[in-house]
């Protein structure tokens, strides 16, 4: 399950919560004040590639096969 970050518009609290994929703002309430008036933040994510020394970006490989 992914971790989503939300911001409560009532008490100005920002919090992260572990939720099922596809959870919406309607499924979430602020742990600080209990309000359901929350907005999902857009978060950046990161992943580690192949560890090469090239200056080009590395991306994970999917599937089978050489390459």
Number of domains forming the structure of the chain: 1
Q: Does residue 58 lie in a domain region? A: no
Q: Does residue 14 lie in a domain region? A: yes
Q: What is the pLDDT of residue 31?
A: 96
DSSP 56: S
Q: Does residue 22 lie in a domain region? A: yes
Q: Does residue 44 lie in a domain region? A: no
Q: Does residue 34 lie in a domain region? A: no
Q: Does the structure show a pLDDT above 60 at 35? A: yes
- Residue 28's pLDDT band (cuts 50, 70, 90): very high
Q: Does residue 2 lie in a domain region? A: yes
Q: Between the CA of residue 34 and those of 12, 21, 22, 29, 48, what are the distances in Å?
A: 12, 22, 21, 6, 37
| Residue of 50 and 34 predicted with greater confidence | 34
Q: What is the pLDDT of residue 30?
A: 96
| Residue of 5 and 51 predicted with greater confidence | 5
| Residue-number span of the structural domain to which 20 is assigned | 1-27
Q: Does residue 10 lie in a domain region? A: yes
What value does the mean pLDDT take over residues 2-30?
92
Distance in angstroms (rounded) separating the CA atoms of residues 3 and 18: 4
């Amino acid at each position: 399950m992914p971790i989503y970050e939300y911001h409560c518009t009532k008490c100005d609290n920002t919090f992260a919560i572990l939720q099922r994929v596809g959870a919406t703002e309607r499924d979430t309430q602020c742990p600080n004040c209990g309000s359901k008036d929350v907005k999902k933040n857009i978060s950046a994510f990161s992943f580690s590639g192949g560890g090469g020394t090239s200056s080009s970006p590395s991306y994970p490989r999917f599937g089978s096969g050489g390459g």
